[in-house]
Structure 1
Amino acid sequence: MDATPDLPGPAGLLAGFARRHDPDRFLSALFAPAEARETLFALIAFNHELARAREAAREPMMALIRLQWWREAVEEAAAGAAPRRHEVAGPLSAEIRAGRLDPAALLAMVEGREAEETGEDAVPLAERMRATAGVMAAETGRVLGAGEEAMTGLRQVGTAYGIGGTLRSLAALAAQGRDPLPPHAEPREAARALARDGLALLKAGRRGLAGLPARAVAAALPGVLARRDLARVLRPAWQPGQASGPRGAGDRLAVAWAGWRGRF
């Protein structure tokens, strides 16, 4: 499952982009029907570009300018305008104009990132993850044919994945001068409280996805990694400053097993 699918043209390029920049969601997308993967790779690439707005900017205003650029790219595509010249904006525009990606969901993802730039310290982590990773999980499910009854569960699973990923990345975030934990809290206990909240969200999400069709299971597969990431934080030896490193074989195999079974 490590190989990038042999897709022609822009699809193959986006697959490689997704694999490099978001290997978790890339692996999950491999368990989607083949005809939907190009759309999912475009969504993954778009999410990465939103996430890197902060990394590529030295101050919040510059990040907001980058996010505005993507807002306008989505709005222009929805209006049928020619795509912007960008390795992600072009394929993204094609998916929007073909009706395979929902502009409203993409704009909601932009708004979630904008909220991070304007009030990260004032907005709880779970709320920020719900507006970003949660919205993305729901849009992934919609692309794969999940019904409206699954949207709450997918948002909960996506939020839990976002919390787990953030806790997994605490050392890297600290190196960037960022601290996503609640202010004035003891870091280890604050992280453990967030992990427990994330596991509760994940449990609720799994109940809500009991009837998720097998073709849409890829939308929920990041929850497999969320469960493992959050459980690690609750281990007695875990410390916030531990570097996470790349995913191990156990994480990848857990996703693959769930994907092959078609059940989350």
Structure 2
Amino acid sequence: MPSTLSPEALSPIGAFARAHDPDRFLCALFAPAERREALFTLIAFNHELARAREAARTPMIALIRLQWWRDAVEEAATGKPPRRHEIAGPLHDAITAGLLDPDSLQAMADAREAEAEEEGIPTDGAFGAYLRASAGGFAVAAGRLLGAEGPALAALQEAGATYGLAGVLRSTAALAAQNRCLLPAESLAAAGLTAEAVIADPGSAVPVVATLAGRGLDQVRALHPRLPRTAIAAALPLVLARRDLRRLARGEAVPPTRGLADRLAVTLAGLTRRV
């Protein structure tokens, strides 16, 4: 069982991960203690990539932000000094220590370019590829950090993509408030909708969200990742994805804050090493 971590006991990177990605932070507590700081760093890096478009006034600025992070990763991999940034410093340390794989980190940054496309994500296939590369790429990087390899990494990528799907679906209204829509145009068109219509009225997308959530649940049922005991933390977001997709498939909203039942579900899965 992971040790209880009070805010005072957390490192700055751990506190950052807890504040900005509480789901993955909770899952990270089930990682071996000697890998936990690097996993917190990966969570923080992923958050910075995710907010590249959110924090940018234009898609071009988002692409520049993503390139800044690619350069930071490359500089660490080639032995250059770390950049002066609260996340870039720990990221540099984790890369130079051989804990985080630079290629995996670069792939995560590449995946986020889809969020900067002004025309959005065109097809269901492109949407799936985006999820496997972004949230799925995070799960692969976390798995490598925790000792997973081969088929286990492929299973983790699918599990991570499923968590990413649930994240996009439950954030439809929040994204609309930022004048954004990540739902695939193909699924929207099948329901007589456009991205602009969803941004104007997020409630109109409930049937599309329910359909995509149902497909996600079908994929979850086929997932049975076999992982080394040390790598369970990389798969635990799947527990939350499953719970979220069930709600969304019923047309229900996911509460903005995790309740006790969600946290207990993750804890039980982490303790039993079964997702």
CA gap of 1:50–1:137, structure 2 versus 1, over 3 A, is same
CA gap of 1:162–1:257, structure 2 versus 1, over 3 A, is same
Secondary structure class of the residue paired with 2:83: coil
Report if the CA contact (8 A) 1:215-1:262 is conserved.
Answer: no
Amino acid at match of 2:109: V
CA gap of 1:39–1:53, structure 2 versus 1, over 3 A, is same
Counterparts of residues 146-161 of structure 1 (less than 5 Å): 146-161=148-163
Equivalents in 2 of 1:214, 1:3: separation in Å? 25
TM-fit CA distance, 1:150: 0.3
Counterparts of residues 208-227 of structure 1 (less than 5 Å): 209=225, 211-227=226-242
- Identity of matched residues, %: 55
Report if the CA contact (8 A) 2:136-2:157 is conserved.
Answer: yes
Equivalents in 1 of 2:109, 2:85: separation in Å? 17
Please state if 1:143 is matched with 2:142: no
Amino acid at match of 2:53: R
Please state if 1:232 is matched with 2:268: no
Please state if 1:248 is matched with 2:266: no
Report if the CA contact (8 A) 2:148-2:228 is conserved.
Answer: yes
TM-fit CA distance, 1:126: 2.1
Aligned CA-pair RMSD: 1.7
Report if the CA contact (8 A) 2:244-2:254 is conserved.
Answer: no
Per-residue CA deviations over 1:184-206 (Å, capped at 9, x if unaligned) read: 24323321221122123322332
Report if the CA contact (8 A) 2:115-2:182 is conserved.
Answer: no
Return the match for 1:189 from 204, 207, 229. 207
Report if the CA contact (8 A) 2:45-2:91 is conserved.
Answer: yes
Please state if 1:178 is matched with 2:180: yes
Secondary structure class of the residue paired with 1:32: coil
Which residue of structure 2 aligns with residue 259 of structure 1? 270
Report if the CA contact (8 A) 1:182-1:190 is conserved.
Answer: no
TM-fit CA distance, 1:43: 0.3
Return the match for 1:202 from 208, 220, 232. 220
Aligned residues: 253
Which residue of structure 2 aligns with residue 29 of structure 1? 28
Per-residue CA deviations over 1:109-131 (Å, capped at 9, x if unaligned) read: 01001132136332533221111
TM-fit CA distance, 1:147: 2.2
Equivalents in 2 of 1:219, 1:127: separation in Å? 19
- If the length of structure 2 is used for normalisation, what is the TM-score? 0.87
Per-residue CA deviations over 1:134-156 (Å, capped at 9, x if unaligned) read: 01101111111112120111001
TM-fit CA distance, 1:50: 0.4
Equivalents in 2 of 1:87, 1:95: separation in Å? 13
Equivalents in 2 of 1:31, 1:248: separation in Å? 19
Per-residue CA deviations over 1:163-202 (Å, capped at 9, x if unaligned) read: 0111111111111111222332432332122112212332
Per-residue CA deviations over 1:239-261 (Å, capped at 9, x if unaligned) read: xxx57321111111110111111
Report if the CA contact (8 A) 1:105-1:135 is conserved.
Answer: yes
Report if the CA contact (8 A) 1:84-1:90 is conserved.
Answer: yes
Amino acid at match of 1:233: L
CA gap of 1:51–1:123, structure 2 versus 1, over 3 A, is farther
Equivalents in 1 of 2:39, 2:102: separation in Å? 14
Equivalents in 2 of 1:169, 1:2: separation in Å? 28
Equivalents in 1 of 2:80, 2:106: separation in Å? 17
- If the length of structure 1 is used for normalisation, what is the TM-score? 0.91
Secondary structure class of the residue paired with 1:205: coil
Secondary structure class of the residue paired with 1:67: helix
Report if the CA contact (8 A) 1:164-1:230 is conserved.
Answer: yes
